[in-house]
Amino acid sequence: MKQLMAAGGMKRRVLIVDDEMINRELLGAMLAQSYDVAFAENGAQAMEALAEEEHGFSLILLDLMMPVMNGFEVIARCRADARLRNVPIIVMTSEKSAEVKSIRAGAVDFIAKPYDMPEVILARCERIIELSEDRSIIRSTERDKVSGLYTRGYFFAYLQRLLPRLTAPMDALVLNINRFHILNELLGHEEGDRILGTIGAQLKALTAPMRGIACRSESDTFFLLAERQEEYETLIAELQKRVGEQTGARDLRLRAGVYHCPNDGTNPENWFSRAKAACDRIRGQYSALTATFNNELHELTVFRERLSSDVQDAIDNRGFVVYFQPKYRIQGERPVLASAEALVRWIHPELGFISPGEFIPLFEKNGLIHKVDHFVWREAAAQINRWREQYGVTLPVSVNVSRVDIFDLALEKKLLDIVEAFSLAPGDLMLEITESAYADSAEQLNEVIASLRNRGFKIEMDDFGSGYSSLNMLTAIPIDVLKLDMQFVRTMLSDEKKRRLVELVMDIAAFLEVPVVAEGVEEEEQLRALKDMRCDLVQGYYVSPPVPAERFGELIEKELQEKGDWHDNH
């Protein structure tokens, strides 16, 4: 006879509830080899056994006619108790009329008395327990543990079943918490989860009259399908208010994107993609709680989808072109070419020149940036090698390493393979990582950076000053170069506070013994001021815009002509 085991190798527990001793002994003898059997003489004793916090019963075999508390009362109490309602109950009765009544009350099956077929009884018990455990597994995966809402996968599965029965106009909404990662850092992840759970509970309560169905899609993003309303500002404002009051997060700010769903059987995932585009449109705009997807956003969405689909073609057919912006050392008689930054440009065969400001943020969001980055790494390494062969100098080039790249377990190997393929030292390919990447994933980033530096790569912190907690990051994460965000440089001559901040950054860098690169230098006066502040390197249109590799070669030739020993220093 098969033994049915619970997790950990223990037998599953079965509770037999019957006021007749002979019935308890008969059933116990049938089940004892397969299960850990417990007994109760009436409903009251059964409820006492079930009241234990870790009762662990996988099945209840329940007689209906008993003193003190009958079986129907036990069924009613179990179904009213959240802890017990999922424990399956098989009733034991000789009355045909009671069978239907007990099933309607909440029992899952019945066994007719007398018990003359042990194999059938055991098989039915096994099947009921298996079905119950399968349902339990489904319940555990269909609900997000933090918010209590559906998981994304089940949400869309249910939508597919609901769509044929929907008759009222529907809207897809995407809700997001502004700067939730900062709340997580300030309040802690446990408090962050409490906020997400409160949003889930309040979202269900507020949208029940709208026949809404909701899920937590990821992190701090929620999806909602609901009957169309005239406006959603009131809903989001009330949700924001309730969550703030219940959690104490008074500064919590929500935003939502809305898409009016067509009744044409289109893919629901597209609805929420468009609602998300509307939601992203008002990121950081605290005066606007909602935005609706419109024709302008539709055109933008189509454009972005086209860009995403054309990435591989641009790589294969060299639609992407790498430009190089020189960096000059300024602590000397004149600025001297020291290195370069690789910048990607896209010349689309049909759409023409596409601004990096359009495709880079898009690809950072959808993950395609890793393809572009890898292309740029190889192109930059190949160009360093060509300049070395042509001019006899090795000029380091900085390349971008995005957040997506940081989570690539093969990142280090990919970079090492590239420098090896072009006979470079790891330090020849300098790696730029933005300050915001440090803030979002500091612990993992620290490990990645430490490993890369051990291999000989140089790390530049890009856009320093544009994020937050920068001083903490500087002490926690080792870097080799600090790149000052260009917004400081552009305003430092007209804003005394910005000028003082730039001076402070120079002092910090001197203390850490790392050089500073100032970006966005466009005027001679800015250059002189930075030189007086002991800034090491600059880049910007005043010294040179980004240029193709051929024109950059002319800058190398110029340095070779103007300073003979420059060749030996590279």
The rounded average pLDDT for each run of 10 residues, N- to C-terminus, in the chain (570 residues) is 43 89 88 89 92 82 90 91 86 79 86 78 87 69 83 85 82 91 77 90 88 88 92 92 88 91 80 91 81 85 90 95 96 92 95 93 90 97 96 95 89 96 96 74 80 94 66 74 89 90 90 92 94 94 95 93 66
What DSSP state is assigned to residue 65?
Answer: S
Using the CB atoms, write b or e for 471-509: b if 16+ within 10 Å.
eebbeebebbbbbbbbebbbebeeeeebbebbbebbebb
Residues 154, 138 share a domain: no
Q: How many domains does the chain have?
A: 3
Beta strands in 196-281 (DSSP E): 213-218, 221-227, 254-260
Inter-residue contact 88 to 132 (CB < 8 Å):
yes
Give the per-residue pLDDT at 568: 55
Residue 298 lies in a domain: no
pLDDT at residue number 9? 42
- Residue 383 inside a domain? The answer is yes
pLDDT at 115: 76
Last residue of a domain, one of 91, 113, 142: 142
| Beta strand ranges found along 71-189 (DSSP E) | 89-93, 109-112, 150-151, 170-177
Domain annotation covers residue 411: yes
Q: What is the pLDDT of residues 313-355, one digit of tens each?
A: 999 999 999 999 999 999 988 899 999 999 999 999 999 999 9
Work out the angle at residue 236's Cα, subtended by the Cα atoms of residues 146 and 243, and round it to the nearest 5 degrees.
45
Q: Are residues 336 and 443 in the same domain?
A: yes
| Same structural domain, 165 and 130 | no
What is the extent of the structural domain holding 488?
A: 304-565
347 and 265 within one domain: no
Question: How much is the pTM?
Answer: 0.61
Domain boundary residue, one of 142, 160, 177: 142
In a domain, 299, yes or no: no
Which residue bears the tokens 């234990």? 52
Same domain, 384 and 515: yes
Same domain for 54 and 168, yes or no, is no
Q: Mapping DSSP to helix (H, G, I), strand (E, B) and coil, where does residue 107 land?
A: coil
198 and 56, same structural domain? Answer: no
256 and 317 in a single domain? The answer is: no
Q: Are residues 61 and 166 in the same domain?
A: no
Whether residue 256 contacts residue 292, with contact meaning beta carbons closer than 8 Å, is answered with no
Whether 36 maps to a domain, the answer reads yes
The residue type of 159 is L
Residues 233 and 285 in one domain: yes
248 within domain boundaries:
yes
Q: Is residue 341 part of a domain?
A: yes
* DSSP-derived secondary structure letter, 433: E
Tokens 């109490």 belong to 77
Query: Looking at the structure, do residues 36 and 64 belong to the same domain, yes or no?
Result: yes
Q: What is the 3-state secondary structure (H, E, C) of 7-47?
A: HHHCECEEEEECCCHHHHHHHHHHHCCCCEEEEECCHHHHH
193: which residues sit within 8 A by CB, 6+ positions away?
Answer: 146
pLDDT for 411:
94
Domain holding 399: CATH number?
A: 3.20.20.450
Does residue 457 sit in the same domain as residue 542? yes
Q: Rounded to an integer, what distance in angstroms lies between the CA atom of residue 534 and that of residue 76?
A: 80
Give every CB contact of residue 199 below 8 A, 6+ residues apart in sequence.
147, 175, 177, 222, 239, 243
Is 1 within a domain?
Answer: no
Q: Round to whole Å and give the CA distance between 159 and 137.
A: 21
168: CATH: 3.30.70.270
CATH number at residue 78: 3.40.50.2300
262 three-class SS: coil
Q: Which residue, of 293, 319, 339, is where some domain finishes?
A: 293
- Listed in order, strand segments (DSSP E) in 178-277 are 213-218, 221-227, 254-260
Contacts of 562 (CB under 8 A, 6+ apart): none
